[in-house]
Structure 1
Amino acid sequence: MKKSLVSPPSIAALAWTLALAAGPIWAASASDVTVRLGKTVTSPFMGLGVQWDRFYYTPTPAAWNMIVRRMDYCRPGYLRVMVGTGDYCVGFDAQGKPKYIWTEGTAAQKADFKNLTDILDYAQSRGVPVILGEWSPPKKELMAEETDPRWPQVMADFVSYLRDKRGYSTITFFNCINEPNGDWSGNKDYATWLSVVRSLRREFDARGLNASVRIIGPDTTGNTQWLEPFTWIDRATKDAPDTFGAWDLHWYALDSEVLDGSMEKLLAEKREVIAKNDPDGLSKPRFLGESGLITGRVNGDQQPRVRAYEYGVMMADYVAQVARAGWQGALAWDMDDAMHLVSWDRRPDPPDALTMKLWGFWNSQGSRMTPPEDESPRPWFYTWSLMSRLFPRGSRIVETTSPAIARFRAVAATIQRSGRTDVSVMLVNNDAISRTMTVKVPDLKQSPTLTCYRYFETDRPEDDRRFPKAASLLKKVDLRKGCTVMLPSRGVVFLTTMIDRQKNQSP
């Protein structure tokens, strides 16, 4: 449903425009964005996730504390943590029984395993759900074939140990083979992957894990012009709906797929495929298991655009389309450059500019490298962390209506906490053209305090930690009449009624 342009806003709304605008107001009239609180798009929203793997270049204690502080600010809705079978299974004894690192590993192996449990400790202490998973089938020296029946058994033992013995109850999803449609995964084909996952499900059932840990899939990757990850979800939802407890995709989008809105259209179509093929499909989580932009990727697997402010706008547009299409979350690839190598054949210490996969919110090895400022949060952490905080796990994405404006997206959510209902709205202008939008919430009876955050190339307030800082705080805003906001160029505006009730300030 689209709405036509409205008449000029009230005098009060114009005052809010002046308070929120950064620069002159030159748009002739405002367009309405209407938030329909009674119309749910998807619920519950999983929030915004983050890929947090073990570090190849281990952070110092000071750097680890810095990472924890930043992730605490981000408040991720979920984490994805991947391992290899050899990271926890060291082989088999003479009777063919698996030997695990926690009982028979060397001191070095146990220390490396602690790098995994440190991440799980963080998630458990904050109550953050975890997707645990395997990068690929085991190395040949451990198991000769992907279809070795021992592999599902050791995966299930691994999950059972972590949940039942170590108490990591936040492990609630498991991902068998990262990106199985890619030749780097080591997977043979669709049929082989599905056979392994079905065997894994039987092992989970035998250990009573099925009630607490959902197997996700297909976890395929690509975009509309590369690898085409979408057909596997068509097939898996039809072939094995009872095997999977959640549905996920990876989408490394072309700029064109974001700018023209085709992401939203295709994801909405895939939501309908899930609903058609899986009788319980819409009651299962569905989300993006890795999210990023592939346009501009260089040097094998580096995305230098993460250093530019426009990447933060593009990823906000990406997430808006995920939510508007009725999917329940998107996960950032990735948190820190120091986790992943471009090539295992090249591992200098200290690392240089070509060593690590350049995709993160920051590089915790930045002080040892050039440019050292890479250790600071990059621009896209600004929008990702705000989306994560203002559209948290458990929120409800509601309908927004607006005129058909190219390269403009709006998304809104309600957040129910402590007997209070809050509203967050994100406006994304992914064009150089100035836009003036009036946000209206007809069903909101109270006149709340409204916090505004702005993300533009020369206008994105930060505090001394380089975290987002509110641009303005408006009291007693009547959102039934509307709040008019200027987006003078390419950028993002967040409006929220949320407050941190412990500190009595904006979130």
Structure 2
Amino acid sequence: MRQIFRIMLSFWLVTAVISCSALSDATVTVDNKTIINPDYIGNGVQWDPYQLDYGERQLKISQEDWQKLYSRLDFMKPQFIRVMINTTSVIENDVLNETKNYENIAPILEYCQSRNVKVVLGDWGDRMVNSKTNTISENNLKLAARYLDFLVNQKGFNCIRYYNMINEPNGFWAATDENYDLWKNAARYFWSELKIINLDKKVSLLGPDIAIWKTDKVDWITNSVRDLDDAIGVYDIHTYPSKITVNSGEYTSILKAYKDAVPHNKPIVMGEIGFKFVEKQDEALMNENIARAKAKPYASVEDSQMFVYDYVYGSDMADVLIQTVNSGYSGSVAWMLDDAMHRKEQKNKLKVWGFWNILGDEYFGAKEEEVRPWFYAWSLLTKYMPSGCQVHQVSITGNVNIKAVSISKEGKNMMAIVNVSHKELKIKLSSTAMPVLQNVKKFVYAKNQLKLEGDHDLLPNKTKITLDLTKNSVQTIPAEGLLVLTNFDY
């Protein structure tokens, strides 16, 4: 009898294990007692003054379109926005003309000021340095500091917290032409000018703002720490990884190399983030991207991400953001808000990367003004990852296609799980210490799953859910989909 009992017990145990395995494809475990980031800055988007001159026509953004932009961003609730300009565009005969083109930047900063959005203002680098003579332009740097003073002190835009001197200085395309010492000298001189006018008490530098694909540029971080740590309030990098790099999880190890080089008392953020199909495994996607750009009348073939029209770009951006957050970064800025901001090649060839083109009705085609799917994925992970939130430790077993993040603030929680596989997956959510969450909203981002209302609002798929992870919870996530569970009451 004992032998029979042992056999039956073994059978029951094996059956139970098989049943549990069949119930879910992966397990997401939240350790909310372990905080990997106690004070997250927030997520947002790049929002630059608009080009407006499109060769064939000069356009103007109407008040109606500004209000449409504001309403759409209010749904997203950005916490962190990057605004880049060429200060030399407001310099005439070596003299600063602060009011020139002010109407182009003012609506952007007015929005950020009124919504308490932290802003990185910066200069692309035009004529701030001369890479051929290896010299900095002291006059232009001085005037850039004065222009910042005009915006912060005279116009009252204290939403500007950080300044980014020269975009991606490690690039051959940058004003510095990959020269670290030239960038360092420009940043150091600009900082000295801020100190003279006491702006260093209100604004710190953000840098080195390098574009990276591998771990071979960490020296830009270590050198910045050595030379400029007193001036740099937030360190940052830009990444445009390949889809295979992110979906495989290799992206995390790249991120950590740069995070580990930053002092423990300083945050690091992602100053620009988007996808480029640079790896051999993504060659078919690159060819498809080029073909789509060629077929689009106003798209730059050289610099467009044509998958912004596809739902998969939203789940991929969720994947890249979740890995960035879990690697200890304190914020991410998506490239970019609006196609109408930047041209490439010719004036009417745009960098198609945005959530929309606000001048679609006026010039580029009415369809282009509509909200594209990835806006909703990015918005969920911006809206429900508020400034000041804590990021919890999360572990995942069972499937490499699943990534997850968990945050909390003032008794409210958000969990996001992305599935980058081509099939629907069942996910077991578990935690030994997370409290029972009441009045949870469930959002499902996937094709044919969004509950949309009006121009841009996304409604939860379910509401008033009680979520008890101590008893496990099994959730289904569509292929290339994102699941967001939150009890934030907005």
Check conservation: 2:272, 2:332, Cα contact below 8 A. yes
Q: Determine which of 473, 478, 481 is the counterpart of 1:491.
A: 481
Matched, 1:481 2:474: no
Q: Determine which of 7, 24, 28 is the counterpart of 1:29.
A: 24
Long gaps (5+) in structure 2: 1-15, 53-59, 278-285, 291-300
Matches within 5 A, 1:38-437: 38-57=33-52, 58-92=60-94, 99-102=95-98, 109=100, 112-138=101-127, 146-188=135-177, 189-224=179-214, 229-274=217-262, 281-295=263-277, 296=286, 298=290, 299-343=301-345, 346-347=346-347, 351=348, 355-369=349-363, 371-416=365-410, 421-437=411-427
Check conservation: 1:250, 1:291, Cα contact below 8 A. yes
Query: Residue 434 of structure 2 corresponds to which residue in structure 1?
Result: 444
Greater strand content:
2
Check conservation: 1:8, 1:29, Cα contact below 8 A. no
> SS of 1:402's equivalent?
strand
Residues in 1 aligned to 2:24 and 2:202: alpha-carbon distance in whole angstroms: 52
Aligned residues: 446
Q: Output the amino acid matched with 1:311.
A: Y
My pick for the range that moved more, 206-215 or 390-399, is 206-215
> SS of 1:216's equivalent?
strand
Change (3 A) 1:442 1:117: same
Q: Output the amino acid matched with 2:455.
A: R
Residues in 1 aligned to 2:412 and 2:311: alpha-carbon distance in whole angstroms: 28
Change (3 A) 1:8 1:201: farther
Residues in 1 aligned to 2:36 and 2:51: alpha-carbon distance in whole angstroms: 40
My pick for the range that moved more, 423-432 or 56-65, is 56-65
> SS of 2:236's equivalent?
strand
Change (3 A) 1:82 1:373: same
Residue 182 of structure 1, CA deviation: 1.9
Residues in 1 aligned to 2:104 and 2:457: alpha-carbon distance in whole angstroms: 27
Q: TM-score, normalised by structure 2?
A: 0.85
Change (3 A) 1:122 1:7: farther
Residue 139 of structure 1, CA deviation: 7.5
> SS of 2:404's equivalent?
strand
My pick for the range that moved more, 26-35 or 169-178, is 26-35
Residue 27 of structure 1, CA deviation: 5.6
Long gaps (5+) in structure 1: 1-5, 11-25, 93-98, 275-280, 500-506
Check conservation: 1:426, 1:494, Cα contact below 8 A. yes
Check conservation: 2:405, 2:417, Cα contact below 8 A. yes
Check conservation: 1:290, 1:330, Cα contact below 8 A. yes
> SS of 2:466's equivalent?
coil
Q: Output the amino acid matched with 1:282.
A: H
Q: TM-score, normalised by structure 1?
A: 0.83
Residues in 2 aligned to 1:399 and 1:9: alpha-carbon distance in whole angstroms: 28
Superposed CA deviations along residues 151-193 of structure 1, whole A, max 9, x for unmatched, are 3321221112211111111110000001112232221411111
Residue 448 of structure 1, CA deviation: 1.0
Change (3 A) 1:32 1:213: same
> SS of 2:112's equivalent?
helix
Q: Output the amino acid matched with 1:89.
A: I
Residue 284 of structure 1, CA deviation: 1.9
Superposed CA deviations along residues 110-154 of structure 1, whole A, max 9, x for unmatched, are xx222112211111111111100001132799xx98512223321
Residue 367 of structure 1, CA deviation: 2.0
Query: Residue 15 of structure 1 corresponds to which residue in structure 2?
Result: none
Question: In angstroms, what is the RMSD of aligned CA positions?
Answer: 2.4
Change (3 A) 1:91 1:140: farther
Change (3 A) 1:40 1:367: same
Check conservation: 2:247, 2:420, Cα contact below 8 A. yes
Residues in 2 aligned to 1:218 and 1:462: alpha-carbon distance in whole angstroms: 40
Query: Residue 18 of structure 1 corresponds to which residue in structure 2?
Result: none
Change (3 A) 1:116 1:136: same
Residue 79 of structure 1, CA deviation: 1.0
My pick for the range that moved more, 362-371 or 393-402, is 362-371
Superposed CA deviations along residues 41-80 of structure 1, whole A, max 9, x for unmatched, are 1121121121111111332221111111101111111111
Change (3 A) 1:121 1:379: same
Residue 293 of structure 1, CA deviation: 0.2
Superposed CA deviations along residues 84-113 of structure 1, whole A, max 9, x for unmatched, are 122332233xxxxxx2213xx6xxx3xx22
Superposed CA deviations along residues 262-297 of structure 1, whole A, max 9, x for unmatched, are 2211212221121xxxxxx22222100000001236
Residues in 2 aligned to 1:177 and 1:464: alpha-carbon distance in whole angstroms: 39
Change (3 A) 1:447 1:334: closer
Residues in 1 aligned to 2:250 and 2:463: alpha-carbon distance in whole angstroms: 35
Change (3 A) 1:485 1:243: same
Residues in 1 aligned to 2:483 and 2:412: alpha-carbon distance in whole angstroms: 17
Superposed CA deviations along residues 203-256 of structure 1, whole A, max 9, x for unmatched, are 12222222221101111114139xx65442233223432232210001011112
Residues in 2 aligned to 1:455 and 1:165: alpha-carbon distance in whole angstroms: 43
> SS of 1:449's equivalent?
strand
Q: Output the amino acid matched with 1:288.
A: M
Check conservation: 2:26, 2:399, Cα contact below 8 A. no
Residues in 1 aligned to 2:23 and 2:397: alpha-carbon distance in whole angstroms: 15
> SS of 2:378's equivalent?
helix
